[in-house]
Amino acid sequence: MVFYFTGTGNSQWVAEIIAGAFSDRPVAMSDFFNGGHVEIPEFTVRADERLGFVFPVHAWGVPPSVCKFIERLQLKTYSGQLIYGVFTCGDECGYTREMFVKMIREKGWDCHHAYSVQMPNTYIVFPGFDVDGKEIETGKIEKARLLLPSIVKAINDDKPIDEYRKGSLSFLKSRIIYPQFIKHAMNSRPFYVTDTCISCGLCEKFCPTKNLSMKDHKPVWGNHCVQCLSCIHRCPTRAIEYGKVTRDKGRYYFKKNKV
């Protein structure tokens, strides 16, 4: 199985490619989220089964939604089957790998492989942060498409390769900025909708934690936002903003017809 969490589709695409290569089943973590509630996912593991976790890097760390999923995940008949993680990032991952490995070990499991795959930037709610230009966006997707077979082979052969974008100043990013992000930045209050909203409901449909609902034909956010920004990026009329910071910034979500 390949468990994945996605907001704008990058990680879903990566998960589906890996799952397809192994003839495995991709499982959306979002199927177990309902606002602030996380169901207990229970799965029976075959003796020859690989278990993958694919998710985006949030503020140089593991998204809290993924942490909750792993904490509650129950793997029946687990007996040392190969576990791997693949993290999608716009630029760098910091200590995401170390965080993930630690969580897996705390469950009594073993992580055999952990890799990063650079994908187009999506986080636009910090000043100075924006989506990539079209040329960079296309280049990242193409490089990822070419890289994934190497990651699949490493996992299949159980021979780890050095493919992880840790980056510089990792302690500052993952040990100082990440905890502040978790504490203060995961806030839905700055979201609002403009008059260009056409009540299509795509924001509600694609919210991976079911934190958003349509009321009087307009989106309303709950108190369990994870800052995936799916609602902003998938809005076809750019009707959703986050305070003033997202005005005039680009929008992006993965379109399978691009590859």
- pLDDT of the residue at 186: 85
Helix (H), strand (E) counts: the chain: 8, 13
**% of the chain residues with pLDDT over 70:** 99
Task: Check pLDDT > 90 for residue 127.
Answer: no
- pLDDT of the residue at 51: 97
Task: Check pLDDT > 60 for residue 17.
Answer: yes
- pLDDT of the residue at 184: 86
Mean of the pLDDT values across residues 153-176?
Answer: 97
Q: Contact 9/254 with Cβ under 8 angstroms?
A: yes
Distance CA 81, CA 150 (A): 21
Task: Check pLDDT > 70 for residue 126.
Answer: yes
- pLDDT of the residue at 157: 97
At 26, list the tokens: 């991709």
> What angle is formed at CA 168 by the lines to CA 109 and CA 92, rounded to 5 degrees?
60
Mean of the per-residue pLDDT values for the chain? 95
Task: Check pLDDT > 80 for residue 180.
Answer: yes
Strands (E), 82-201: 83-89, 111-118, 191-193
- pLDDT of the residue at 80: 95
Mean of the pLDDT values across residues 159-180?
Answer: 96
pTM of the model: 0.96
Task: Check pLDDT > 90 for residue 2.
Answer: yes
**% of the chain residues with pLDDT over 90:** 92
Distance CA 75, CA 204 (A): 30
Confidence of residue 37 (pLDDT cuts 50, 70, 90): confident
- pLDDT of the residue at 38: 84
- pLDDT of the residue at 133: 96
Quick: pLDDT tens for 57-114.
Answer: 999 999 999 999 999 999 999 999 999 999 999 999 999 999 999 999 999 999 999 9
At 242, list the tokens: 């986050």
Question: How big is the chain, counted in residues?
Answer: 259
- pLDDT of the residue at 61: 98
Task: Check pLDDT > 70 for residue 258.
Answer: no
- pLDDT of the residue at 185: 82
- pLDDT of the residue at 14: 98
Quick: pLDDT tens for 212-230.
Answer: 999 999 999 999 999 999 9
C-alpha torsion 234→235→237→242, nearest 10: -110
Quick: pLDDT tens for 232-250.
Answer: 999 999 999 999 999 999 9
